[in-house]
Amino acid sequence: MSYAIVKGIKIDTDKGQVWLKAASNNVSPRHYEWFESTSLSAILKEQGLIELEKEILEQYWNGNFQASNNIYDKAVKFYGQSIPYTWSNTGAESEVGKERYGDLILYSYTQLKAELYKKYVEYKARPKGNFFVKYNGHYVKSLTKKYIKYAASLQNAKRFNSREDAVLFSSRIHNAEVVTM
């Protein structure tokens, strides 16, 4: 199944346009270019910015947009994992939100988008500060597939603006801790 590798999203609310810098995953070599997304632009014009953001979050949630490092992708990675859900496309709204499958709540499509948007707003409002990742008593400077590079001093360590970003980074290192300064 193909998906878009999105490098950037620009939203021009004055003109009602949404621009994506993307390439398809099944075309090689990858050539990233800016293009106007007509479907997302139509949502912006007809339904507004909030519905557009819900749609972008839903695209990341479903896996149609991938490999970004923007606020939408980070919100879905961090908070999206905490939504216990399954969703129904049958349109039977009477059982939606009430029926449970073990620990999962059955959401409708619109309820799932609303829940993703609520988590996105929480992510945007997260407290800012200086956070660092510490492993075996040393501050982490960078991380590769095979190695952890340590910083000689705190000034050279990788600094994160929010605890959530530091937790996402530290989740790749077993027994790492997030500290604040």
Q: Are residues 81 and 151 in the same domain?
A: no
Query: Would you state the pLDDT for residue 169?
Result: 86
Give residue 12's region: left, alpha or beta (phi > 0; psi -120 to 50). beta
Percent of the chain with pLDDT over 90: 29
Alpha carbon distances (Å) from 31 to 1, 26, 54, 145, 147:
19, 11, 27, 25, 30
Q: Are residues 152 and 98 in the same domain?
A: no
Query: Would you state the pLDDT for residue 124?
Result: 85
Task: Give the lowest-confidence range in 83-97, 103-117, 162-176.
Answer: 83-97
Q: How many domains does the chain have?
A: 2
Q: Are residues 99 and 11 in the same domain?
A: yes
The single residue listed with the structure tokens 């073990």 is 102
Residues 48-97: tens digit of each pLDDT:
999 999 999 888 887 888 867 788 888 887 766 666 565 554 444 444 45
Asked if residue 148 has pLDDT above 50, the reply is: yes
Mean pLDDT of 96-124: 72
Mark which of 97, 124, 151 sits at the end of a domain. 124
Q: Are residues 28 and 109 in the same domain?
A: yes
Query: Would you state the pLDDT for residue 106?
Result: 66
Q: Are residues 24 and 74 in the same domain?
A: yes
Residue 59 has phi, psi (to 5 degrees) of -65, -40
List the one residue out of 173, 80, 168 whose CA is nearest residue 131: 168
For residue 136, give its domain range: 128-180
Q: Are residues 72 and 9 in the same domain?
A: yes
Q: Are residues 136 and 52 in the same domain?
A: no
pTM: 0.70
